[in-house]
Structure 1
C-alpha cells in the first residue's frame, strides 16, 4: 500500500526507534514501498534494522530511560523534517508520548496510543484492575505485605508488574517460594492457565474505532518472540480483542496476549501497546497494520474493517552484507548534542 505524499510533493519521512528489535524491523519492512523515506536509530551500532535504511539515514541515540532521549529525538525530527516518529521500545513509549506537543511543534506526529492507554498497558496490575469484570482475566493478586500466600491455590505464576519478553516470569510451587521476594507491590501472582497462548494483533484508528483483530498462535517462542505460528479466524477471539482495546483505549497498533484456561475460555495476560515483533505474519495474512497505522496518523482515510486470510509462518535467519567501512562508520555516529 503506497502512502499519499505529505508536506507538498515529497513522500512521508518516518523515523523508527529501537532499530535492533523485531518490531522496528517488521515495521520498516512493511512500509518500505520505495516511496516512504525511512530513518532508523538505536542505542547499538550493531542493530540489524539500522542496515535496512540508507547509510545517511541511520544513527545512534540514548537509551529509552535516558532523560536526553526526548531532546535528542525532538532535535532530530526538527532538523530532518520528520513527519512521523515510530517508537518501538517499551521504555521509550511514555517519555515520547509525554512529549507529543514538543514533537507536534516541529511538525512530527507520534505513532502511539494515548498516555492513559500506555500507562495502563505497561503496568500489568493496572491492566488487571482496568479489565476485571469487563473482560475475562486470570485470578491475580498483588504481592505485597497484605497477601497471605497460604490462602491461595498453588502453583502460581509470578511476574513483574512491568517488563516484557517473559523476563522475571517464574512458576512457583507453593507459598514457601515467596520467601525472599519483595513484597513492595512490584510483583503480581496469577493463576496458572494450562492452555494455548495466542496473540491478538489489534489495529484501532485515532478515533478509537477498531479496524481489525488478527489472532495468531505462538507455536514456537524464542526470547518472547514467536518464531512459528499461524493466524486463525475466531469470532470469540475477535470480540475479546475488541473488548480489551475499548477498555484500555487503544488508538494505534497493539498486541493483546491471551491464554486458554481449564474451562476452554481465553483469559487476558497482557497488552503490549506497540507494534509486535511477529507483525510479518499479520501482514502476510492480508492486514498491513504498519502501513494502515501510518496512514491514519498522517490523517489519511482508513477503512472501517479489513479482513484477513489465515496463513502460517516459520521464521529463519537472514543477513545484510555491506562494506566494512560503512559498518565502521555507523559505530562512529555521535549522539547529537542537546541544545541548552
Structure 2
C-alpha cells in the first residue's frame, strides 16, 4: 500500500493573531508541524502569548512605512517562506509588497486589487453586492439621503474604517445630514434589526469556500471579544454569495446581521476555550520567569 508523502514543515507568517481567525490558523498550522510566526499590532493581543508560535509586535497597517519595514524585518529574521494575512486592512499594503516579498523568496496568497477595494470600502462593497443581487441594506452617499425609505432608522458611518469608530445612529434624514458632518467620508445605511454575527472563511483558488459562523456575544469597540459558533445554512449561503461577488480568496472574516437565531456550539467553541486556557497558562509562566511581552522588531537606522 502506497504511503502518502509526509508534509514538509514550512516557515509561515500568519498576521493578525490577536483575532480568532489568525490565532486559530496559527495554532492549527503549528500543530501540523509547521514553523509558525504570528504578528499583531495590538501589544495586548492574547495571541502574542500563545505557545508554540513565534510572535512579533508590528506597526498598524495605516502606518505604511513602519508596517512594511516591520513585516520585511520579521520575514528576514525568521526566514519566512510564505505570508498568510487575516486582517483585511493589511491587504492593500501586502499587495504593494508582493513583488518585494517574492524577490526575497516569500510567497503570498492575495486577492485582486478590485477584491481588496470592495472589502475595505463600504460604498464599493454595497455596489458590488447590489450588482450581484446579494441582499444588502439600503445604502447611499450623503448627497442621496432622500433616496432612503421614509420612516426607517439610519446609521451613519465612514466608508473606510473599523471598530465602530465614528459610527452614529439616528431616526431621520435630517439627523443623518447633521451626523454626516462628523463622520469622515461617510455613507448612510438603513439600520437592521437582528443579531450580529461574523463569518470566518477560507476560500481556495477555485472559489470553494468553507464558512464558520460565529454569533457575537460580547462586542467592545466594534470588535468581537466573545463569540459562539452556530449553524444556519441560509446564513452560510449568503456568506458564500458575498465572497463570490467580491472575488475573495484565502482567509477572510465578514461581519453581518441575521434575523434568525440558531445556536449550535461546536468544535470551534471548544478550541477557543482551550486557547484561552493555554494563553493564561503561558502568561503565568512568563510572569514567573520574568519573560517580556513580544516586542516590535528592531529597525535599521534610516538615512537622512
TM-score (norm 2): 0.77
Tell me if 1:64 matches 2:61. yes
Aligned twin of 2:123: 125
Report if the CA contact (8 A) 1:198-1:257 is conserved: yes
Report if the CA contact (8 A) 1:157-1:192 is conserved: yes
Aligned twin of 1:276: none
Look up the SS of the partner of 2:192 in the other structure: coil
Look up the SS of the partner of 2:199 in the other structure: strand
Q: Which of 235, 244, 248 matches 1:250?
A: 248
Deviations 1:178-233 (A, max 9, x none): 325339981111112122333333321023233x2333433443442051433214
Report if the CA contact (8 A) 2:199-2:255 is conserved: yes
Deviations 1:280-301 (A, max 9, x none): x776389x9xxxxxxxxxxxxx
Look up the SS of the partner of 1:163 in the other structure: coil
Tell me if 1:137 matches 2:111. no
CA shift in 2, pair 1:124/1:260, >3 Å:
same
How many residues align? The count is 286
Q: C-alpha root-mean-square deviation of aligned residues, in Å?
A: 3.6
Shift of 1:140: 0.9
Structure 1: runs of 5 or more not aligned: 265-280, 289-311
Look up the SS of the partner of 1:100 in the other structure: helix
Aligned twin of 2:160: 162
Report if the CA contact (8 A) 1:143-1:183 is conserved: no
Look up the SS of the partner of 1:135 in the other structure: coil
CA shift in 2, pair 1:108/1:140, >3 Å:
same
Look up the SS of the partner of 2:99 in the other structure: helix
CA distance in structure 1 between the partners assigned to 2:31 and 2:274 by the alignment: 24
Look up the SS of the partner of 2:160 in the other structure: coil
Superposition pairs for residues 145-224 of structure 1, below 5 Å? 146-148=144-146, 152-177=150-175, 178-179=177-178, 181-182=180-181, 186-210=185-209, 212-223=210-221, 224=223
Aligned twin of 1:327: 292
Deviations 1:134-186 (A, max 9, x none): 21111111124x54489743321122211223333222022332325339981
Shift of 1:125: 0.5
CA distance in structure 1 between the partners assigned to 2:82 and 2:6 by the alignment: 14
Report if the CA contact (8 A) 1:60-1:335 is conserved: no
CA distance in structure 1 between the partners assigned to 2:79 and 2:276 by the alignment: 36
Look up the SS of the partner of 2:197 in the other structure: strand
Tell me if 1:284 matches 2:268. yes
Shift of 1:105: 1.7
Report if the CA contact (8 A) 1:41-1:60 is conserved: yes
CA shift in 2, pair 1:22/1:199, >3 Å:
closer
Structure 2: runs of 5 or more not aligned: none
CA shift in 2, pair 1:132/1:313, >3 Å:
farther
Greater helix fraction, Structure 1 or Structure 2: 2
CA distance in structure 2 between the partners assigned to 1:202 and 1:21 by the alignment: 13
TM-score (norm 1): 0.70
Aligned twin of 2:89: 91
Shift of 1:108: 1.3
